[in-house]
Amino acid sequence: MIAVVGAGLMGAATAWQLARRGHEVTLVEAYDIGHSHGSSHGSSRIFRRAYADPFYVRLTGQAHEQWRELEDDSSTPLLRTTGGLDMGEGRDTEGLSALLDAAAVPHELLGPEAASERWPYLRITGPVLYHPDAGVVDADQTVAACVRRAIEHGAEGIIGVRVTGIDVQGGEKVLLHTDDGREIVADTVVIAVGAWLPALELPFSLPPLEVTQQQVFHFRQRDPSVRWPTLIWDGELHLYGLPSGSDGGPLPAVKVAEHDRGTPTTARTRSGVVDASSRTRVSGFVRDRLPGLEPDPVAEATCLYTTTHDEDFVLDRHGPFVIASPCSGHGAKFAPLIGAMAADLATGRAEPHPRFRLDRAG
């Protein structure tokens, strides 16, 4: 039996991948499905192909295929294509274009005048890279769909129960103790607990991980009929934007947030209080660069990043354990692919990628 601990995006996707392959799976989640105590809640995450790294450009293509498989299996639309823009004085649009060319990913490089004509609700003063395959993933619906289909494929779901102890028996079996007195015996355990990982007592070492509390803001569209693309902006500020979905309220809104400047914390001690200085910076950016939005947020929230030193994921096997994630603030777009990769590790079908190993260099 394979136990999966954690039913956020990565754990839920792993349970789905394993169960649909016919494996015996037990999924254990400390909170309700779709809770807001980790990194997997909300209605909007960016899906994009434009990475300044050919490795991740390739992975986004594989992830896109897995998203369509999940949508087919669950009969649920999860990835909505919007197109995406990369811009800002610190964004190497020409370099991104060359990488997308090499991977045969459709895209355009536009000057500021041409881009301003196409997206008049943005104030554009420099070159823009546009790639039409970018879009928005609904994280809440993804978690719900993966858990539902995992159970329908035969997995057992133990929800609202926390793992409180882990014992390795004879180097082969793992005994999980829970806060309701259960003892779960597994051949393999997939640990997919995100920001809770650093505090989990495991019988091996983890790489350095930093947990930060991030904040996101939702700004109402001045014209509700406009279909906004996703945005990546690199300059003095490092921000992203995307259509909000239901998190932005009943009227169309755009989610804008800083990718960096999070506050160090832990999953257990996070304050949940939005950083006012971030609100000021992001609102100022919206006022200056996104005139198609009202500059005062209509909704805001906090979430958690768990970041490695190199911002690569952790996806490796150690004895009977598989560690899936943390994802350094950019993993949501890969969720069904990470689920497949974790399932491969759990069943011995594949070796870990060197970039995702627990003991990688550095």
Instruction: Output phi, psi for 361, to 5 deg.
Output: -65, 145
pLDDT at res. 331: 93
Express each pLDDT in 287-315 by its tens digit: 999 999 999 999 999 999 999 999 999 99
CA–CA gap between residue 231 and residue 228 (Å, rounded): 9
Express each pLDDT in 202-246 by its tens digit: 988 899 999 999 999 999 999 999 999 999 999 999 999 999 999
What confidence category does residue 326 fall into, taking pLDDT thresholds of 50, 70 and 90?
confident
CA–CA gap between residue 174 and residue 2 (Å, rounded): 10
pLDDT at res. 361: 62
- Identify the CA nearest to 324 among candidates 333, 311, 337: 337
Residue matched to tokens 């590790």: 345
CA–CA gap between residue 61 and residue 153 (Å, rounded): 26
pLDDT above 70: residue 354:
yes
Q: Tell whether omega for the bond before 326 is within 30 degrees of 0, i.e. cis.
A: yes
pLDDT at res. 170: 80
pLDDT at res. 219: 98
* Mean pLDDT to the nearest integer, 63-69: 98
* Mean pLDDT to the nearest integer, 58-81: 97
What confidence category does residue 362 fall into, taking pLDDT thresholds of 50, 70 and 90?
low
CA max distance for the chain: 67
Provide the whole-model pTM: 0.95
pLDDT at res. 171: 72
* Mean pLDDT to the nearest integer, 77-94: 97
Express each pLDDT in 20-41 by its tens digit: 999 999 999 999 999 999 899 9
pLDDT at res. 172: 82
* Mean pLDDT to the nearest integer, 4-11: 97
Express each pLDDT in 143-181 by its tens digit: 999 999 999 999 999 999 999 999 998 878 999 999 999
pLDDT at res. 103: 97
- pLDDT cut 70: percent of the chain above it: 99
The type of residue at 239 is L
The two tokens of residue 7 are 């039913």
Element (DSSP H or E) covering residue 302:
strand 299-307
* Higher local confidence (pLDDT), 328 or 112: 112
